[in-house]
Amino acid sequence: EEIELSQPFSERVILPLLNGLANSVTRFTPRRAIEKARKDLEMAGRPVRSPEMFYAIKVAASIFMGVISLLVLILMRQPFLNQIIFSIVGATIGFIFPGVWLGGRIKKRQDEIVKAMPDAMDLLVICVEAGLGFQAAMAKVAEKWDNELAIGFARALQEVQLGKTLNNALREMEQNMGVADMTSFVAAIIQATSFGVSLAKVLRIQAEQMRIRRRQRAEKKAQEAPIKMLFPLAFLIFPALFIVLLGPAALLVVESFSNGGSPF
């Protein structure tokens, strides 16, 4: 009992409730939805330990937001119909928000992987040309950096140590990342190992292609910058600038008219 009391509140109360809710929710959730949630969680880097727990969080957030919305409307003495409508809206937002958050995690992880790949390819080329095997080169990448790509490499190597073939481990890593550059990289490595092509040559080609794609992405962002600046310029900066420039003149005109004179 003392050991239980020494645990955090989240582990003593919240986690058991979520586990119970996960068991109940799983019975009514389609298997296809569970599998999609599992894939999304893998692509996000497993921020939640299981898809069942993720759906439990969605249901708990829905209940919480619905109850909070209802209590607020009751305190505001809103009509009963408004209480029902906005409680449903709050519950819907609570159910949808974890999915939006998960999508943001996926996008952030994929961006980090894409950003890290060119440098990782350069290190792989150096290691392989120096005489290291491909798995040893992957281990060097996993040791050098602490990012999502390095974590993915380390996990793939761990799967190989547990008995999975390198090709299968690479395919699983690529599927869990969902990045186009990683898909082409894994396909090139598998083809090279299957047909006996020099890995160093393949890796150098991949590194050059990724540097080109990185430059193209930077050029695309530079071209999009003026368009993205239109909204803040038109609605934030220009109005403030007009107030600063025309404000004194407008005050002078108002003061002149209020005194019965002419501003000119």
How many other CB atoms sit within 10 Å of the CB of residue 107?
12
Q: Give the model's pLDDT for residue 260.
A: 59
* Residue 159, pLDDT above cutoff 50: yes
Q: Is residue 66 part of a domain?
A: yes
Last residue of one domain, picked from the residues 83, 108, 133: 108
In this structure, the answer to whether residues 92 and 139 fall within a common structural domain is: no
Q: Is residue 37 part of a domain?
A: yes
Closest CA to 177 of 120, 121, 106, 123: 106
* Residue 132, pLDDT above cutoff 90: no
Q: Picking from 14-23, 107-116, 185-194, 227-236, which range would have the lowest pLDDT averaged per residue?
A: 14-23
In this structure, the answer to whether residues 92 and 7 fall within a common structural domain is: yes
Q: Is residue 264 part of a domain?
A: no
In this structure, the answer to whether residues 31 and 48 fall within a common structural domain is: yes
Q: Is residue 252 part of a domain?
A: no
* Whether 60 contacts 85, CB under 8 Å: no
Q: Is residue 243 part of a domain?
A: no
Q: What is the CATH number of the domain that holds 154?
A: 1.20.81.30
In this structure, the answer to whether residues 97 and 126 fall within a common structural domain is: no
Structure tokens at 252: 């002078």
**Sorting pLDDT into bands at 50, 70 and 90, what band is 12?**
low
Q: Is residue 48 part of a domain?
A: yes
In this structure, the answer to whether residues 85 and 130 fall within a common structural domain is: no
In this structure, the answer to whether residues 115 and 195 fall within a common structural domain is: yes
Instruction: Report how many domains make up the chain.
Output: 2
In this structure, the answer to whether residues 14 and 68 fall within a common structural domain is: yes
In this structure, the answer to whether residues 115 and 100 fall within a common structural domain is: no
**Sorting pLDDT into bands at 50, 70 and 90, what band is 3?**
very low
Last residue of one domain, picked from the residues 93, 108, 123: 108
Q: Is residue 236 part of a domain?
A: no
Give the residue-averaged pLDDT of 18-24.
68
**More confidently predicted of 223 and 94:** 94
Last residue of one domain, picked from the residues 108, 140, 165: 108
What range defines the domain where residue 116 resides?
111-216
Q: 201-227, pLDDT tens digit by residue? A: 888 888 888 888 888 888 888 887 788
pTM: 0.74
Q: Is residue 227 part of a domain?
A: no
CA–CA separation, 120 and 235 (whole Å): 42
The number of helices, as runs of H, and strands, as runs of E, in the chain is: 12, 0
CA–CA separation, 36 and 175 (whole Å): 13
Mean pLDDT of the residues in the chain: 84
